[in-house]
Chains A and B, each alone.
Chain A
């Protein structure tokens, strides 16, 4: 017995590595990781060629790490361990007060290059261009950030953007958001990087004057709440014990019979009579409920709109929750996403008879997107 006790470290060590190996071999292999939104590596096929090229070895290593027993548990342990040793934000996400999980400051070195592309476009564009950039969550909700955090340089970047974008109407939403947030409204999700329906509504109100419409009031909408929303910052953070968020849908009942959404993906276009894709509410990440998430080319038509104007929206996914509000005022809204859409925009403006252009990005995405150059 004494001997066993003396060798306890060795026994525990061998048990640990053997059990981890056994579990890896025995446990059924997962195909898909919903929190990572990617397919996991499966057992690689063995061949002499793949062995000699080293591919078999690489794939096997991926297979092993993708299928490690208790993978999500380990990822969570790593997140909380780093948090405990003072390194909040080791995964790029800060665990903030009030259950917010917030992206750390993005590298802004490429932002102004992209803004330059937008300015060039606005200068030569035959119709009016309006630009709205969503500030970062960490900048607006600065009071919830941990004591030690990187610097959100939104103020500096917004003044530079305003200066550069002389040919476009720049709608600066910073103060409105800060006031709304100070009044206790939730502008951004706690478990996702997007703005909430309320945040999007606030931006919609602010855009009215420049785009030329009278915004609807809050009471014009039927608001439904959907709990258990676990968005992108939740799934990248590993803070699995963080509570979920609630997603709201603001629906104008008057639109139900008259608005159609047409989503084009490749050569195929699918239509539906609504702007909300309710099946996505069954997933952890519910944000694609708005306009079915990311697509190269989406058209929203409203037979009963205030005007017969046509709006082109050049955007990232922040637009998905905002455009449903705009649909009341335009007979047709075309959304293009440069990450997937490759045809020239100038042609589109001409062929579709566009009256106004709205460029809508979040600052983080605009700073990191490498496809904005396609706007020219």
Chain B
């Protein structure tokens, strides 16, 4: 189930909210656990077993880690390793086995039957979350969770289950048992949810439509047309992802949770280093804490630091998808970050701000080309068309599309900056604020509903002929 669907908005959410608030406090985690599983299992009920398996395994590991943590470090460590191995095996099997068999088959003497395993949604996110639990308990950063239902609620918590943010256990450990839902937080959550809904349905989906239409054009779009397309995709992926994170945070607030921010205006960055501090923050934090620093980080000399960075970025890329282009994409940023750290930084710092912005945006946007095309031939053709080797500037059809979506492109560009938030801070405490917020929520809900319903409006066009 996804948040930006009629099923979620007009069935699941109202039912869950009503049940949650009539439920006595002590049963609320159990209730959340159950509705989480309904949410998760809606499309693929079989995978609910996977979630329950994950819960039991990590609960057990955590319990033993806590038991031996003080007395027998070696035994405790064994359970951390077990938890990490089981989680990575789940991820490896469901996400990477197909890719692996396919890749191995390129070897001339091998012919393994290709594995086609459906990817359980959210598996990349919740395996990372549960690993953070075992490691945090081992490190003494988080208390053990003795109640398996409460632990299950954390593992399966529906707001961030499918697309993050990756909530570390230590960040919500206290909230799981001691959260207090308030009307103020609920109101804040509603507003954040609506912001996320607007990002997803009003901006990301429109940008996605533009990108798809440009890709489907039967005539070459021209170099400018290609740039318009990849810029639309740049907006689509940001508003889609950060919209989803906002909706998750907003929903969290409605149920008394407080999650950390996942995006912080990444497209206003002046360098790639800054971009990754602002983009998908929870993932970057995870890799830094549980991978980069344990590998030695920057404490073991420059050569080792460079290697560490490349390992982390290889894995970051591969985490995003089981295909070569995601690995390229990760390494591309790894190389850029190493270059920035050791070479470009001095030069960049002296450059005027707009040069820094253009530099960062160029490499971010170009990165999305690598991210989007898993077919290397198509990727090459697209890059060729972007740099105008023997093409038109912009075809008539691409031009018409670009103009049709120009207002939304401008809105997207504007919404990528913190200007709106600054304006909001100014009116936040005025008397008119609640009325304005209400109007905003109504408009977003109304138009989002219209756009979502119209997706299901499919005139059966036999009568077209």
Contacts and interface: CB of A to CB of B under 8 A. Distances in A.
A24 interface: yes
A6 B11 contact: no
B454 A36 contact: no
B453 A71 contact: yes
Given A13-B445, A17-B9, A38 B460 contact: yes
A293 B187 CA distance: 55
Interface in B80-116: none
Interface string B422-465: 00000000000011011011100111011111111111111111
B186 A35 contact: no
Nearest to B457: A75
B434 A285 contact: no
B183 A7 contact: yes
B413 to A, nearest CB: 15
Contacts of A62: 456
A24 to B, nearest CB: 6
Contacts of B451: 78, 81
A206 to B, nearest CB: 22
Q: Which of B10, B17, B452 gathers the greatest number of chain A CB atoms within 10 Å?
A: B10
A75 B464 CA distance: 19
B396 A57 contact: no
B186 A10 contact: yes
A285 B405 CA distance: 32
Interface in A285-321: 285, 287, 293-294, 316-317
B290 interface: no
A87 B45 CA distance: 39
Contacts of A20: 9-10, 14, 449
Interface in A49-95: 51-52, 54, 57-58, 60-62, 64-66, 68, 71, 74-75, 77-79, 81, 85-91
Given A61-B5, A107-B218, A285-B463, A151 B397 contact: yes
B414 to A, nearest CB: 14
B6 interface: yes
B24 to A, nearest CB: 20
Main secondary structure, interface of B, reads helix
Given A9-B190, A105-B397, A148-B404, 13 more contacts: A3-B183, A17-B9, A64-B6, A65-B453, A68-B449, A75-B453, A78-B450, A85-B407, A148-B403, A150-B397, A236-B459, A238-B454, A294-B462
A262 B404 CA distance: 47
B194 interface: yes
Nearest to B10: A20
Interface of A: 3, 5-10, 12-14, 16-18, 20-21, 24, 35-38, 51-52, 54, 57-58, 60-62, 64-66, 68, 71, 74-75, 77-79, 81, 85-91, 105, 107-109, 148-151, 193, 232, 235-236, 238, 285, 287, 293-294, 316-317, 339, 365, 369
B37 to A, nearest CB: 13
Interface string B230-243: 00000000000000
Contacts of B463: 37, 232, 285, 287, 293-294, 317
A150 B396 contact: yes
Interface residues of B, number: 67
A13 B190 contact: yes
B212 interface: no
Q: Which of A8, A38, A54 gathers the greatest number of chain B CB atoms within 10 Å?
A: A8
Interface in B97-150: none
23 contacts: A7-B183, A7-B434, A8-B434, A8-B435, A9-B434, A9-B438, A10-B183, A10-B190, A13-B193, A13-B441, A17-B17, A37-B459, A37-B463, A57-B45, A60-B7, A61-B6, A74-B450, A81-B451, A86-B403, A86-B406, A107-B216, A232-B459, A238-B454
A148 B400 contact: yes
Interchain residue pairs A-B with the least CB separation, the first 9? A65-B456, A78-B454, A74-B453, A151-B396, A77-B450, A38-B460, A78-B450, A10-B187, A20-B10
Contacts of B455: 65
Nearest to A60: B7
Contacts of B187: 6-7, 9-10
Contacts of B191: 9
B462 A37 contact: yes
A36 B459 contact: yes
Contacts of B397: 105, 150-151
B353 interface: no
A279 to B, nearest CB: 16
Interface in B362-406: 395-397, 400-401, 403-406
Nearest to A285: B463
B454 A13 contact: no
A52 B449 CA distance: 29
B10 A17 contact: yes
Given A9-B190, A21-B14, A232-B459, A81 B400 contact: no
Contacts of B216: 107
A230 to B, nearest CB: 12
A37 B458 CA distance: 9
